[in-house]
Structure 1
């Protein structure tokens, strides 16, 4: 617990220097024509003696701005794309404050179709029931996928398998533009085909309101993709290359007219994901063991296309039709050296297991959406949408054991076939009605259908032919239908806000193993209440509180009993009898904002029943891991996020999260209980250097932590990135190194009364060089093809 104390002392010392004689500048920026507030307008403080920038910021969602400086001789410049820039000089300072009042920006009708490159920094804003992370041009995201972007967001972690954790806990529901998406399915980590330049913002919702699907015990992450609506033709092109193989080309093109907005994004590339791994299985009864060392590389060609169009029937009604197609062609090669030892640690046999895997993963999705804005107020609207999606995977893996030492060892060959297909359909309607300026009602419903078929088989090569192993072969069917209805009511005053909601969901879940006739049918109805409150203690200090009840239904890959046999001594499989988790989540957050720094802290508690954890059992010397419902979990945590800008060339962000677990339950008729904790931190430094260079250095730490059977070890890692603007700012060159010291290592130990298991996995260092160019009114953006698994 020394690290948070260090952060507090660091912030205190820095703030005591920069706040001594600060002048605070405030104001509100609006559109001169519509009188609507302008968000993200650029605000610069300029030194009147040499025109150098002293500080800068962007306006908030309500158009307000807040800056501070120690200078007494400055001017303020306010600009926004498509509007005439305004500059304020000869300002009067009263009580160390300058109030610019309301600044009305007029449209610039003579604006030429020239490229505008903005070095936008990522920013976080707090709303009544969520945090919004506006994705800027962060250098650590250069050459990054959506999974890497998520890994740089406070409260979110992505482990080496690609599992997304929120405040250290799984069970996260990931949405695209507020809806389920084939790109967030578990089948192929398709989020790797969504690249950093495609993302406008990420919404982190730790206590979702009743408006959202109740799925996800730890909360919701909503990824909002960019949809450029600038008039005329605009776009960007990006090119990347990297080591290991990470070569990609990205292209976006958009055209906006009075009636239509046509948008498109395209990404193609080739990448390699290497991996080193090690395992040790030990029989604690007789002392025998099996050890393995290996390396693998997955090579992937990918293609991702997004096309869509908005048709404006009139000023109040718009229809959107969009589609997404993604394709991955995979080849994977692995080689593992095995050694077996007796109880005296004498080597008995050795062999090499070679793997060759090929797979194709086509994915597509389409959406039809209609939005009607009512004339009485801007926020009164009806939104209706229908989404269809499909994901398929045709995978074949061939394994061969080649003896290298010992007597009696024979060459063996195995074949694993996996033919998977999934179809999802979502129908949704949402209605929002304000009453005056302070009250808002929301209501709506959603019907979700998910149908999956998986034919899998494992065969041995005997007498010149493949012979199927019956107990490792089956056809698995999965069907889940969820009907949800909700209503919320919100009051937002000048100081106090309150939002209450209730959601009802009926779930119909069915699974069947065709060959063995095993079925698991579940039908249940639940109520999910939510409550959120906020109180503005002062102009720059607010309190928020929230409660929600959540559910985490078994996913297909948790239920599917298909067995992974890369390592025949350590296999993983699903559990068709798995039940859903339920979570009651509570939290309170304090937020302090200042022109030069911001600080937020959250206390939270989650009570989880029917907790799902991976459990390992030993059968005939083979360790089998599958998910099970294991007791209850009480999680209490502290989260702190801070941002400090000591001067106009250096800024830093610090994030800290601590969890305390209290686990109780019964396993195989034996009660158990234990306590554990884990914590993580991230410190990001960004430096604006001469000659339009920008340097970003990110350090992160993940502590060790314990689960029901497993102890997971911690690690320290660092990312670094450099950006340079060229061609008069029309293009950007980026260089990024992720996991600079190749220190992101996943190690774990599993212990039981009669066996133990050690495992080690490492991906290594990734280096990416990219260049981006914007044309029309488009912006140069970072694009990548990197993907985490």
Structure 2
């Protein structure tokens, strides 16, 4: 492992040294009228004699730019959508440095009436308590969902089940526009209905400040959606098609006047997700074994609609009303061939188990937000918001067993019904007050209510009559209330930053199994301190550090004792007695930013108590898996992220993450302890080719690792994307191939004195062709399409 990391660092530093002797160019780009910074303005270094492009970049969120060139005879070109392009020739080179100062761009009235597509690469920006991944044009994600976008974000991975991991660990809180959303909850996979073209940026917060809800042991991922605010009518649309069955249409439009900003986005689509599976369940005493091999086809039709309006009372007061409707209709078919074997692996019996599942998942969310900016300071404001949401799921599954050989082969049938409903309400107030330019105070509170009802029943056929199995059926009720209050103080100057915070949360959880009258009520209060600091060692090198305490409360689907019977020899269920897990998180990060490359490295440690982990037990020749609180987990890790631009037509980025686990605890009155590690690596190459073609190649590797009971296999994957601009750049055609070698798998082995269990799942290759077009003052969607759950 040390050799791998050493080679990676040596590769970065070797190329950096080769380019380190150029002329460094810096400056800042602002709007001439408002004097506000312009993000993503394009900066080109052109040869004076031929106008050949020597280097290029885009400005950061604060309008600053930094790049370098080997040439000593060049001009600088600055451009942005809707502004007059400016060429700079009058500057002075001092000690191999050029300071362009503040560059003011004037609006181009004529250009504002035309559609212009601005090239944009994804960039990462470091802030005091978070990293911001500005979503660009990652070609391999054409026709993708937000889950695919997250898979391209440094530190984030999404496994085949769609679980989002941060630095290899679950327990991630996912927000949309800084708030909880019906789209990020469990059940129905609604997050996948967000199309990638809807996303402006993704904020990765590994050590959140006290301002954020303390939920999420490994941190927070905040997905910020686009909301166009240019005056007039603006919009864009995209169309995608692919194999296997992958068709979607995305459309967005907004209209801005002096008082109103009306905005809307819609995505509709149809998806088929095939999957192969294989399972083995073995009794370690008798060596009797059950094997199953088969395939699943999941078909989904979905729609996601966002409508909203901003009303500006004046320049400093605005109210926003918005609504979100998402709907999924699922039809799933599973076909598995089951076989039983005796202790000598001689076949005993076999049967074919077929499943037909249908489900509908409607979701609603509505929000009202009021923001008041005070006149004394630019960032002095009060923000009030109220959010309501509802989600329901009506699902039924029919299972039939048809004998194929031997005595004892199953010939029965089962029926599973699940009627689920959930309502959530969030009330929040945030107040921010700067004192001068260096000190900022934040305070506020949040009240969050969740109410869930789940009526589930499993029946079996008895002479053609469906009979409910009482021990597998019940009505489950769940209610959670969380009240949080926080305060933070931050001090920042040109070299040093410090942010301290404290959050108090009181949690009330009530669960009830109605048929058996089993209750489990919890009420607890916690304090969550946070600390963030940064120091600028040199102009292009800074150090950051952070600490936070987090909580991961059991989710409804962790608590719900509903039993999944797709494989009756290997079932899963929830645990109503789960307790929350707590995490103390520490990290130190170094950031080096050179005109030709950037490099960041983090060392982090997490101490997790009451760790929630899936545990499998063996009863009556059946493996039963449910989440349990199992001991403590010490996680120490190293993360390295690098980005480099060797030339104006080639850029590359690399991400590496290593985790070392030290697990200990007591299970069934027996102490246990083990140590393990896990690492992931991703390398992305982007090429700008002649004739307005662009190519992207992504390689991804995830190592094997160990959990309390399981050994999880590793795998390597590759994605490829290519883009072509046509009709003077107004139309963009994208082609992507995700999982080129069909190598993305989920494979695990559980070896126990009582039983052995093996599970394997694989999804195949996905090819998508997309076309996008922008109109008004909008831009063509370089991302486009609908959902894909990996």
TM over 0.5: yes
Give the TM-score, by structure 1 length.
Answer: 0.99
Classify the secondary structure of the residue corresponding to 1:313.
strand
1:519-561, CA deviations, whole angstroms, 9 ceiling, x for partnerless residues? 1000000000000000000111000000000000000000000
Q: Displacement, 1:90? A: 5.0
CA distance in 2, matches of 1:49, 1:563: 73
Classify the secondary structure of the residue corresponding to 1:558.
helix
CA distance in 2, matches of 1:759, 1:89: 64
Residue aligning to 2:13: 12
CA distance in 2, matches of 1:631, 1:564: 26
Residue aligning to 2:551: 551
Residue aligning to 2:463: 463
Q: Displacement, 1:119? A: 1.9
Residue aligning to 2:359: 359
Classify the secondary structure of the residue corresponding to 2:197.
helix
Residue aligning to 2:327: 327
Alignment of 1:337-736 (within 5 A): 337-736=337-736
Structure 2 unaligned segments of length 5 or more: list them.
none
Runs of 4 or more above 4 Å deviation: none
1:390-433, CA deviations, whole angstroms, 9 ceiling, x for partnerless residues? 11100000000000010243421100000000000000000000
Residue aligning to 1:27: 27
CA distance in 1, matches of 2:246, 2:784: 11
Residue aligning to 1:140: 140
Q: Is the 8 A contact 2:351 2:410 kept in 1?
A: no
Q: Displacement, 1:8? A: 1.5
Q: Is the 8 A contact 1:121 1:137 kept in 2?
A: yes
CA distance in 2, matches of 1:779, 1:630: 50
CA distance in 2, matches of 1:568, 1:577: 24
CA distance in 1, matches of 2:715, 2:37: 45
Alignment of 1:81-100 (within 5 A): 81-89=81-89, 91-100=91-100
Aligned length: 788
Classify the secondary structure of the residue corresponding to 2:111.
coil
Classify the secondary structure of the residue corresponding to 2:265.
strand
Q: Displacement, 1:91? A: 3.9
Q: Displacement, 1:3? A: 2.3
CA distance in 1, matches of 2:613, 2:283: 23
Q: Is the 8 A contact 2:506 2:526 kept in 1?
A: yes
CA distance in 2, matches of 1:500, 1:316: 28
Residue aligning to 1:785: 786
Q: Displacement, 1:63? A: 2.0
CA distance in 2, matches of 1:783, 1:42: 23
CA distance in 1, matches of 2:489, 2:14: 43
CA distance in 2, matches of 1:426, 1:636: 35
Q: Is the 8 A contact 1:75 1:91 kept in 2?
A: no
Residue aligning to 1:118: 118
CA distance in 2, matches of 1:330, 1:345: 38
Which stretch has the larger CA shift, 34-43 or 676-685? 34-43
Q: Is the 8 A contact 1:696 1:721 kept in 2?
A: yes
Residue aligning to 1:233: 233
Q: Is the 8 A contact 1:214 1:549 kept in 2?
A: yes
User: Does residue 180 of structure 2 align to residue 180 of structure 1?
Assistant: yes
Classify the secondary structure of the residue corresponding to 2:51.
coil
Q: Displacement, 1:377? A: 1.1
Q: Displacement, 1:82? A: 2.5
User: Does residue 778 of structure 2 align to residue 770 of structure 1?
Assistant: no
Q: Is the 8 A contact 2:194 2:787 kept in 1?
A: no
Alignment of 1:185-196 (within 5 A): 185-196=185-196
Q: Is the 8 A contact 2:40 2:120 kept in 1?
A: no
Residue aligning to 2:154: 154
Q: Is the 8 A contact 1:249 1:268 kept in 2?
A: yes
CA distance in 1, matches of 2:217, 2:423: 24
Superposition RMSD on alpha carbons, in Å?
0.9
CA distance in 1, matches of 2:556, 2:548: 25
Q: Displacement, 1:74? A: 1.1
Classify the secondary structure of the residue corresponding to 1:107.
coil
Q: Displacement, 1:81? A: 2.2
Q: Is the 8 A contact 1:243 1:768 kept in 2?
A: yes
